[in-house]
Structure 1
Amino acid sequence: MTGVLDGFGTIAVLIALGWLLAHLGVLDQAGRKTLSLLAFYVASPALLLTVLQDADLARVFSLNLVVSVAAVAATAAGTGVWIVAARLRGRRDPERPGPGLGEGVVATLCSSYVNAGNLGIPIAAYVLGDAALVAPILLVQVLVLQPTALALLDIAVAGRKVSFAQVASRPLKNPLTIASAAGVVIAVTQVRLPIVLADPIELVGGMAVPAMLLAYGVSLRLGPLPGRGVPAGELWTAVGLKVLAQPVAAYLVGRAVGLDEASLFAVTVLSALPTAQNVFIIASRYDRGVLLARDAIFVSTILTVPAVAGAALLLG
């Protein structure tokens, strides 16, 4: 459990620093937006490239990957059911129209996109004993879930019909998707970047997590208090799917496909991780579901501590 507490402690300190900087007037909403854009367009792509270029693809493309995909699909489907129900309710009550496309995409990310980077890596290393165990869920997210979500968000903010060719080409224009694909290509070909490029990219990638967490802390100080910015039902649906439904789905599918006990424990614990901070960055970039993303991250991060501890006690 030391790795779990260390990971959460690091996150808490950086969020608190962002809150303090906003409280002292050092950073305002404009500063938060700048940090978010920096993380989205520059630092996060650099981080994804450096992480994925060293991935062991033989271990990534395993049964763990199948289970991770199934768990993400289960929670995404659960969110879809909630969105449809909310839209149907909105037809009866025009004052509660339900989520639009952009808000629905962010809600899906809140319920299924795990914090595989700054929490998943230390927990995989210190709790599970192997940092590489986080690679399958990380790959699912950055190469499938994230590009799909970004393409849909691009459509949502376009405000007009978008052709199939435009939709298909959007991932090729997104820095996060481009960097992820480049990292996988490097891992496959084993062609290393020259030091003059690799070192600066690694340095820039080091800004990603601090920038995300500082921006998040600023939002907590300057925005509505967590739990007051979005309807309670919407928040708790996303959090419940993330913290409870996703690890349960991972466990059941892992048991069904015959994962060994160590792998079953790993996929269950990693699926119980909270909503990732970059969901807030993505929501901020597209200005859709920002408060839901912020609050879901906050609540799921708190609830993940007993969720991970429970999984460790039951399966470890």
Structure 2
Amino acid sequence: MQGVFTGFATIAVVIGVGALLAHLRIVDLDAQQILSRIAFFVASPALMVITLSRADVHQVLSANLVASIAGVVVAAGIYVALARWLWHRSLGETTIGALSAAYVNAGNLGIPVASYVLGDAAFVAPTLLLQMLVLQPLGLAFLDADAHGRTSSLWQVVSGPFKNPLTVGSLIGLLLSITGWTLPSYAADPLRLLGNMAVPCMLIAYGIALRLGPGLGKAGSRAELASTSVLKMLVQPLVAYLVASLVLGVEGHALLAIVVTSALPTAQNIFVHATRYHRATVLARDTILITTVGAVPVILLVAALLG
């Protein structure tokens, strides 16, 4: 259990640094925008090249992936239905809300949790690849289409993600993993150094927004925030558990890994996307906060029941 607390404590400290810097007026919301842009255009793509180049892509075809997809589809699908029929959100707002309800923190939190709690960082690889290569490109395609103010053609939807630096970085990393190629040190070392900025930039920018933005639940719909939080913390891991255990027959430690991975909180980079496209930034921010805090008891409970 120490790995769970260590992962969450690390995130909390770095977010706290951002909030403290904002409180002391060392930085402002302009700084938060700059940090988010650096993370989006430079640091995160570099991180994806390095991370995915070392991932075992064969695990994408595992039961872990099937159960994870089920959890994502149900959680995101429920939110999309509510957003379109009840709250009448735009395409961009609906996209950010759906990602907030189903896109897990598989990187800077999932990797340490998989390493220390599950005993192998490879358990998070299928989810990481699914999100980077499928969910994120689709989400960014919808956000790009919404930002243009017109309905995109099929070619724009298909080609749009390949113009996004995060998608390009992910595809380069996947290509390196599949082919077994290794980047020379003069290319890998700078990428690794730039990639190391990604998580701190995201978390500090998030802390600044927490301190200087509207208070929790003071902007937007509290019912909508409650929906994204419940879908992420409870519905997604529950669906993954039911599919894995009842449909796929997964048992033991493998089942624990699937449920714990699905119970991870909403990823901070959803807030980066929301900020970049100016869509549902408060909903993304507050969902990340609630699910990050709430994931601790949820994962501990899952570990106690299935461990």
Give TM class, smaller chain. over 0.9
Alignment of 1:62-101 (within 5 A): 62-87=62-87, 98-101=88-91
One-letter identity of the residue aligned with 2:80? G
TM-score (norm 2): 0.98
Contact in 1 for aligned 2:79/2:98 (Cα 8 Å) = yes
Distance 1:262 1:282 in 2: 34
Find out whether 1:124 has 2:91 as its counterpart: no
CA distance in 1, matches of 2:98, 2:15: 24
Q: What is the CA deviation profile of residues 17-42 of structure 1, one whole-angstrom value per residue up to 9, with x for unaligned ones?
A: 00011111111111000000000011
Matches within 5 A, 1:137-216: 137-216=127-206
The whole-number CA distance in structure 1 between the counterparts of 2:41 and 2:84 is: 32
For 1:140, give the aligned amino acid: L
Map of 2:26 onto structure 1: 26
Q: 1:310 — aligned with what?
A: 301
Q: Pick one of 204, 207, 217 that aligns with 1:227.
A: 217
Amino acid at match of 1:169: S
Match of 1:94 in 2: none
Contact 2:84–2:94 (CA<8 Å) still a contact in 1? no
- In the aligned structure 2, how far is the partner of 1:79 from the partner of 1:140? 19
Structure 2, unmatched stretches of 5+, are: none
Quote the residue 1:106 is aligned against.
96
Give the TM-score taking structure 1 as reference length.
0.95
Q: Measure how far apart 1:74 and its partner are.
A: 1.2
Question: 1:238 matched to which residue of 2?
Answer: 228
**Helix, strand or coil at the partner of 2:3:** helix
1:287 aligned residue (257, 265, 278): 278
Secondary structure at 1:31 match in 2: helix
Residue 259 of structure 1 deviates from its aligned partner by 1.5
Match of 2:261 in 1: 270
- What residue identity is the alignment partner of 1:302? V
Q: CA deviation at 1:48?
A: 1.0
Stretches of structure 1 that go unaligned for 5 or more consecutive residues are: 88-97
* 3-state SS in 1 of match to 2:67: helix
Measured in 2, the distance between the counterparts of 1:84 and 1:151 equals: 18
| Partner in structure 2 of residue 95 of structure 1 | none
C-alpha distance in 1 between matches for 2:287 and 2:56: 31
1:57, CA displacement in angstroms? 2.0
Identical columns (%) = 50
Count of residues in Structure 1 that have an aligned counterpart in Structure 2 = 306
1:258 alignment partner, SS class: coil
- Cα distance in 1, alignment partners of residues 179 and 290 from structure 2: 41
